Amino acid sequence: MKLNKLFNGISFWIGIFAAATVAVLTKILIDSGVFSSLKNALFPDSGEQVSTSIEFAHPKLLYLLLILIPLAVWYFFRRKRMTANMQISTIEAFQGVKKSYKYYLLHLPFILRMGVIALLIIVLARPQSSNNWSDRDVEGIDIVMAMDISGSMIAEDLKPNRLEAAKSVGVDFITSRPNDNIGIVVFAGESFTLSPMTTDKGSLVSLMNNVSDEMIDADGTAIGMGLANAVNRIKDSQAKSKVIILLTDGSNNRGEVDPLTAADLAKTYNIRVYTIGVGTKGLAPYPVRTVFGIQRQNIQVDIDEKTLQAIADKTNGQYFRATDNKSLKAIYTEIDKMEKTKIQVTEYSKKQEEFLPYAICALLLLLLEVILRNTVLRHIP
């Protein structure tokens, strides 16, 4: 009787140890990412992108896991054939008898054997951890956007008007250049810096959206002053590429600096100037305030294309003419393509073999199976 109690006690603690071992090994496999790795390796084209730090040197070997299915079927039918039958007249004597815990552990050795086989297949597939990192060498471009905000910029040949159209494409251009220093200069009869050179795109977008034709009291178009102010903002830049985008809808009729003189100054500092003339050809509707409200009058479009072309030629830039919203957007897209930011990326990767934890798990499961088969779940021939 004492030996029977001792044996039952030992069996109980072995069962507890077995359950704890299985739980710990399952936790290890989940933390290692093996389950997501198996899915990614077996079904690479399933459409679901599985993020994992584990890769396999021989992922095709994982298809050997499919042999577990016929093994499970074989075990089921083998157990069914090996079940002993005994005919008795009544089972009343056995009613109310509780099932021993051994009944629930009956199939545990086979499950452990299946786990050993699965882990050995994973070991053969050679799981590897991969550490990836990269060095990015970004060579940005310094850009100043010089924008005409004179009264004529509210002409409505572009929608809703020239100024709003220029602001819209300007914002798109700023957000498309995440690695560049960008500044904003505005001009009418005078010129001032709206934003110095910065990479803070949120601030630039906010300032651009708040631009209006009422920011400068002195009306007129001081192209030379606007360009000179832009050159002054970018001339000390250490960037290899320095660019000014000058947008206007008129001709120089104000200011103390001649546009071509400002272009010579830009050339001296190796600054490339892209000039944009905004406005349709011929007449453009212009809103005029009268006693009867806002009335539209057609005014002659007067863009000094000759001067704008000369500025671009002097500085190795290019002149563009925007007659509608679509062409204006296309111009900024073209400039964006011509002035590319140089990004050099060097990638590093370090792989380390990770089969040892799976091999240890397989050994522990095999050891646990052997112990159970020879103690708690021992079969009598």
Q: What is the mean pLDDT of each run of 10 residues along the chain (381 residues)?
A: 47 50 51 49 43 73 88 80 65 66 74 89 86 67 95 93 95 91 95 94 94 92 96 91 94 94 96 96 88 85 94 96 94 88 63 85 89 76 55
- The domain limits of the chain are 2-84+100-133+351-374, 141-340
The answer to whether 284 and 301 are in contact (CB under 8 A) is: yes
CA 86 – CA 84 distance, rounded (Å)? 7
CA angle 331, 335, 337 (to 5 degrees): 115
Mean pLDDT of the chain: 82
CA 161 – CA 220 distance, rounded (Å)? 18
pLDDT tens per residue across span 3-31: 444 444 444 445 455 555 555 555 555 45
Q: Helix (H, G, I), strand (E, B), or coil: what is residue 310?
A: helix
Structure-token match 């140890």, residue found: 17
141-340: CATH homologous superfamily? Answer: von Willebrand factor, type A domain (3.40.50.410)
pLDDT tens per residue across span 246-302: 999 989 999 999 999 999 999 999 999 999 999 998 999 998 887 777 888 899 898
